[in-house]
C-alpha cells in the first residue's frame, strides 16, 4: 500500500467509527474539566488528578485497540473495555518511558566522550571571579578562547546526537507500540532487535517517509485544534473533537504501516 493510500484511509477512518470518535471526545472533555479543577487548587484536585490519570490511560489504551483493529484488518463495533484499555494504556506508558530512557543513557555516554562535563566545568571556573571576597559574578569576557571553543564543540556534538537519538527512538517506539497492539505482549514491544527487523521489512525509507507525512497531518490537526480552542468559553471543549479525530487517525495509520511489507 502506498503511503498516500495509508494516509487517505486513516483520515477517513474516524468517520467510519463515529461511536469511537464520540467516546474519545467525551473522555478528552472529562480530562479538560479535571484539568480545570486541578488548576483551582481546591480540595477536589486530588480526585481530579486520579480521574485525569485514568482517563488518559483509557485514551492511550483505546489508541492501542484501534491500532490492533487496523493491524488485523478488523472493524468490529466500538466497545469500551475499561480493564483491557487501562491495562494497554499502562503497558504503552511503560514502553514510552523505556524508549525514552535508552537514548538519554546513550546521550550521557556521548556527552562524556565529547568532554561536555569537563568543558562546562572549565567554562564555569574561568568565568567566575570574586569581588571583595564575597560577591561572585559570571562573565564570558574572562574565559579563554580555547575553553569557549571546547565548550561550544562539546555542546554542539551533544545537541546533534540528542536530536538524532530522539528521532530514531521515537520511530522505534511507534513500531514497538504497534507490536504491543499486535501481540498484546510488552516483552515483544521491548524487543528492540525485533522492532528494527520489522522496520526493515516495511522499508526504512518508506517508514521514515510515512512518519514525516503523518507528522505533518497531525501538526495541521493540532493547528486547527489550537485555532478552535481560542473560541471563548467553549473553544477548549470543541477542540477535543479534532484531538480525538487525530488520535484515531494516528493509531489507524501506524497499524496500516506496521502490516505493510515489501
User: Per-residue pLDDT for the chain (262 aa), expressed as one digit of tens each?
Assistant: 789 999 999 999 999 999 999 999 999 999 999 999 988 877 888 899 999 999 999 999 999 999 999 988 776 667 788 899 999 999 999 999 999 999 999 999 998 888 888 777 776 776 665 444 444 444 555 566 777 777 788 888 989 999 999 999 999 999 999 999 999 999 999 999 999 999 999 999 999 999 999 999 999 999 999 999 999 989 999 999 999 999 999 999 999 999 887 5
CA dist 51 and 33 (Å) reads 10
In 34-51, which positions are buried (b, 16+ CB within 10 angstroms) versus exposed (e)? beebbeeeeeeeeebeeb
Is residue 66 packed enough to be buried (19+ CB in 10 Å), middle (13-18) or exposed (0-12)? buried
C-alpha cell at 202: 516495511
C-alpha cell at 126: 574561568
Q: 177 with 253: CB under 8 angstroms?
A: no
Q: What are phi and psi of 17, to 5 degrees?
A: -130, 60
> Rounded to the nearest 5 degrees, what angle is found at the Cα of 136, between the Cα atoms of 130 and 142?
65
Amino acid at each position: 500500500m502506498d503511503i498516500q493510500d495509508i494516509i487517505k484511509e486513516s483520515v477517513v477512518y474516524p468517520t467510519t467509527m463515529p461511536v469511537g470518535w464520540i467516546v474519545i471526545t467525551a473522555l478528552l472533555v472529562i480530562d479538560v474539566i479535571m484539568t480545570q479543577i486541578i488548576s483551582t487548587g481546591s480540595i477536589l484536585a486530588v480526585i481530579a488528578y486520579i480521574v485525569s490519570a485514568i482517563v488518559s490511560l483509557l485514551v492511550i489504551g483505546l489508541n492501542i485497540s484501534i491500532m490492533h483493529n487496523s493491524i488485523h484488518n478488523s472493524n468490529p463495533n466500538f466497545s469500551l473495555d475499561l480493564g483491557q484499555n487501562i491495562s494497554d494504556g499502562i503497558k504503552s506508558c511503560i514502553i514510552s518511558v523505556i524508549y525514552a530512557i535508552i537514548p538519554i543513557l546513550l546521550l550521557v555516554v556521548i556527552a562524556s566522550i565529547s568532554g561536555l562535563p569537563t568543558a562546562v566545568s572549565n567554562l564555569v571556573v574561568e568565568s567566575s571571579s570574586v569581588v571583595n571576597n564575597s560577591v561572585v559574578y559570571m562573565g564570558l569576557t574572562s574565559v579563554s578562547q580555547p575553553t569557549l571553543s571546547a565548550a561550544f564543540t562539546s555542546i554542539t556534538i551533544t545537541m546533534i546526537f540528542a536530536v538524532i537519538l530522539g528521532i530514531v527512538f521515537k520511530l522505534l517506539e511507534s513500531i514497538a507500540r504497534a507490536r504491543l497492539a499486535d501481540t498484546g505482549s510488552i516483552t515483544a514491544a521491548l524487543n528492540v532487535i525485533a522492532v528494527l527487523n520489522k522496520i526493515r521489512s516495511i522499508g526504512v525509507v518508506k517508514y521514515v517517509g510515512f512518519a514525516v507525512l503523518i507528522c505533518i497531518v497531525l501538526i495541521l490537526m493540532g493547528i486547527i485544534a489550537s485555532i478552535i480552542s481560542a473560541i471563548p468559553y467553549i473553544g477548549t471543549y470543541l477542540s477535543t473533537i479534532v484531538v480525538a479525530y487525530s488520535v484515531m487517525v494516528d493509531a489507524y495509520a501506524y497499524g496500516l504501516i506496521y502490516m505493510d511489507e515489501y
